[in-house]
Amino acid sequence: MSITASGNIRPMDERDLLTLESAVTAIQEASSAVAREVERDRLRETSLARLSTVEAELKRSQLALEKIIQEETG
């Protein structure tokens, strides 16, 4: 569902769904890039810890978007 300029709620259309699916794909790619950098283990421990946090946040965001897609598509 989306809220129109007049404040009415409308069902999610295919374009909305594609936008969310694209966001999920982008998050997956970013998460993979972060994971690869962590695996290389070339950074200082504090930087690796921050990257691990970023990776976890990306995964949480991905799960949230996937849940929204699932709820909106039934």
Residue 74 to residue 71: CA distance in whole angstroms: 5
Question: What's the CA angle centered on 16, arms 10 and 22, to 5 degrees?
Answer: 160
Query: Are 54 and 31 in contact, with CB atoms under 8 Å apart?
Result: no
- pLDDT score recorded for residue 42: 92
- pLDDT score recorded for residue 8: 64
Give the pairing type, strands 9-10 and 2-3: antiparallel
Tens digit of pLDDT for each residue in 3-55?
555 666 777 788 999 999 999 999 999 999 999 998 998 999 999 999 999 99
Parse the chain into domains and list their residue ranges: 13-73
Q: pTM higher than 0.75, yes or no?
A: yes
On the CB side of 57, how many CA atoms lie within 13 Å of its CA? Answer: 7
Tokens 């699916």 map to which residue? 21
